[in-house]
């Protein structure tokens, strides 16, 4: 019975890889809490594929909370290789990422001229030896480009993140729903108020309201997450609370009012 229990995560990873068209399972990035990991078919965020992370309201332009969430998500991978970050606006606050425990010395920054160049550099980075993950800031992505990104991830087992962003404002694109159908997961991230430990002054660890809008082969969910106390531990997030459906609906209403 114990052997079957041990083999179950590997079997789930193989099934998820087959559904995604991946030739070889690349493992997962678990959150370390069954209330989150249970949403993923393989028990964690799929490696060797790409994921969408975005915000709402002003976060569509600044992308501060989604960028911090993405960096912390990739923190365990940065310990074993390079992470390429492709942007259109040179405003990534690297010292802030270092404050999250991210290995800033492993970060390679690339500034692209337009979204087409962002996607081209992102694809090349994901297929490069020594690169364990890559982030590209772009607003839209069609199914063909999404498939190319997936193939690039499969070549070396790298993990990609498309950071949805309109760095210079402008109208909201129409391809958001289309691009999400090619990604393994789609997230919407917002900052959440931090709280210091009971009886201690000052600010607590950074917190995020993380909504998993779509998970291929799994299910959606919404949580309040904060940076874990173990700066270099295997699980960079700690679950603060699980959000009910009515909490998510209320938040969506408030975001529409602000927007």
Q: Is residue 239 part of a domain?
A: no
Q: What is the pLDDT of residues 22-48, one digit of tens each?
A: 444 579 999 999 999 999 999 999 999
CA distances for 79 relative to 83, 101, 133, angstroms: 10, 10, 11
Residue percentage of the chain with pLDDT more than 70:
79
Q: Is residue 206 part of a domain?
A: no
How many residues are recorded in the chain?
259
Among the listed residues 112, 176, 171, 169, the one whose alpha carbon sits nearest the alpha carbon of residue 140: 176
**Is the pLDDT assigned to residue 6 strictly greater than 50?**
no
Predicted TM-score (pTM) of the model is 0.82
**What is the number of domains present in the chain?**
1
157: left (phi over 0), alpha (psi -120 to 50) or beta: left
Q: What CATH number does the domain containing 114 carry?
A: 3.40.50.300
> What's the pLDDT at 16?
53
pLDDT tier for residue 133 given thresholds of 50, 70 and 90 = very high
Q: Is residue 61 part of a domain?
A: yes
Q: State the burial class of residue 99 (Cβ atoms within 10 Å of its Cβ: 0-12, 13-18, 19+).
A: middle
Q: Is residue 64 part of a domain?
A: yes
Which domain range does residue 171 map to?
A: 48-190+211-222
Q: What is the pLDDT of residues 189-222, one digit of tens each?
A: 999 999 887 877 778 899 999 999 999 999 999 9
Give me the chain's average pLDDT, please: 84
> What's the pLDDT at 172?
61
Q: Is residue 148 part of a domain?
A: yes
Q: Is residue 38 part of a domain?
A: no
Q: Is residue 28 part of a domain?
A: no
Q: What is the pLDDT of residues 138-190, one digit of tens each?
A: 988 888 999 999 999 999 999 999 999 988 876 665 444 444 468 999 999 99
Q: Is residue 182 part of a domain?
A: yes
């Amino acid at each position: 019975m114990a052997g079957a229990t041990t083999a179950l995560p590997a079997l789930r990873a193989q099934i998820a890889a087959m559904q995604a068209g991946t030739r070889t399972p690349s493992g997962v990035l678990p959150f370390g809490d069954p209330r989150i990991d249970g949403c993923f078919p393989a028990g964690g965020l799929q490696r060797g594929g790409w994921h969408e992370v975005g915000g709402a309201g002003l976060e569509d332009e600044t992308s501060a909370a989604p960028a911090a969430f993405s960096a912390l998500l990739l923190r365990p991978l940065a310990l074993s290789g390079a992470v390429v970050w492709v942007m259109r606006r040179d405003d990534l606050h690297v010292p802030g990422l270092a404050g999250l425990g991210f290995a800033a010395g492993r970060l390679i920054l690339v500034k692209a001229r337009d979204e087409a160049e962002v996607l081209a550099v992102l694809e090349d980075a994901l297929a490069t030896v020594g690169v364990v993950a890559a982030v590209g800031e772009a607003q839209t992505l069609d199914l063909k480009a999404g498939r190319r990104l997936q193939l690039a991830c499969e070549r070396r087992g790298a993990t990609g993140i498309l950071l949805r962003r309109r760095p210079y404002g402008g109208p909201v694109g129409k391809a958001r729903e289309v691009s999400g159908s090619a990604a393994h997961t789609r997230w919407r991230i917002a900052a959440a108020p931090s709280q210091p430990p009971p009886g201690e002054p000052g600010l607590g660890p950074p917190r995020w309201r993380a909504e998993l809008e779509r998970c291929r082969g799994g299910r959606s969910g919404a949580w309040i997450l904060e940076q874990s106390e173990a700066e270099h531990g295997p699980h960079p997030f700690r679950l603060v609370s699980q959000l009910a459906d009515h909490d998510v609906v209320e938040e969506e209403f408030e975001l529409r009012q602000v927007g």
